[in-house]
Amino acid sequence: MLKSQTLRILLIGLAVVVAASFLPLGVSGYVLGLLTVAYYFGVFSMAWDLLFGFAGEVNFGPTFLIGTGAYTAGILDNLYGLPIWVCVLAGTLAAVVGGLILALPALRVRGPYFGLTTLVAVLMLQNFIVVDAGLTGGEIGLTVPDVLTISEVVNYQIALWFMAVSGAILFALSRSPVGLILQASGQDDVQAGALGFNVTKHKLFAFIISAFFSGLAGALLVFYFGSASIGTLIDVTVGVQIIIAAVLGGRRTILGAVLGAVFLIAMSEVLRPLGDLSNFTVFALALVVVLVFPNGFFGLLTRHKESV
């Protein structure tokens, strides 16, 4: 029964993605640009949901993983002019290694301390970038010589299908036996241990997967923007937006995170005429949604099916 549900959600998702791939026929380049960024942020949020929703660990530092991937890729391109795909791979690898170095000690501490550790990691990375400005571009930002493509439509399609594939993998993983063990470890680690599961191993695995997709998306985003900066990729407020998107979309749903990311970026665009008040309004709206619909958008969409 559940297998068919997983399959059905994946098929519906595919249909939505195929439909979205025809958007360039009807909307302006400006809107495509916004959606491109939203899709990358959707991947950030999905990767975060795997850690929070399933492994039960609140990672306040998603931007540590993203930033490590993005800056590694950007710096390699800048210094050595390596092919983009080599830089992206190296960035992804760096995020995974960085994630491991962070997670190994962080997973030894419980509850809020894990979150604090990840938060401190973001601040350290941010400081490193500012201090080592010669390498990283510091507060001004890093400009890379190469971009994925200059075509808005191609950039849009790359982001869309990258998000689709990442989402399918993360979603399938969350519904697999590994996802089941992960969820049990997140909810009750004592019981999971008593059932013979090495809880730390499973949480570490989740962290690595999360780091992989965060780093990969971060590295790709650098070659979409043609630049990297603290304000767009690393700042704590960026991390908070990723978290809000995931919670808005629906905790423990993976795919909901994409809805949340698109919603956040669309709303800040729609509310732009409000000027300084626009961000405030977006966050206030997000707060209302979280309080009234704690299961998020995705929870609303699937509620009927679950109650039947």
Interaction with other proteins in 173-192: which residues (CB under 8 A)? 173, 176-178, 180-181, 183-184, 187-188, 190-192
Interface region with other proteins, contact rule CB under 8 A, candidates 76-84, 172-180, 218-226, 227-235: 172-180
Nearest distance from C-beta of residue 160 to other proteins, angstroms: 25
| Pair 106, 203: CB distance under 8 Å | no
x/- track of binding to other proteins for residues 19-58 (CB under 8 A): ----------------------------------------
203 binds other proteins (CB under 8 A): no
Name which of 39 and 171 has its Cβ closer to other proteins: 171
Of 31, 119, 135, 172, the one binding other proteins by CB under 8 A: 172
Of 13, 115, 193, 226, the one binding other proteins by CB under 8 A: 193
Name which of 157 and 174 has its Cβ closer to other proteins: 174
Distance CA 5, CA 74 (A): 40
Of 127, 151, 198, 237, the one binding other proteins by CB under 8 A: 198
Name which of 188 and 235 has its Cβ closer to other proteins: 188
Contacts of residue 215, Cβ cutoff 8 Å, sequence gap at least 6 = 65, 66, 68, 69, 70, 72, 91, 92, 93, 94, 95, 96, 98, 99
User: Burial letters for 8-25: b for 16+ Cβ neighbours within 10 Å, e otherwise?
Assistant: ebbeebeeebeebeeebe
Tokens standing for 205?
């695995």
Q: DSSP state, 176? A: S
| Pair 52, 58: CB distance under 8 Å | yes
246 binds other proteins (CB under 8 A): no
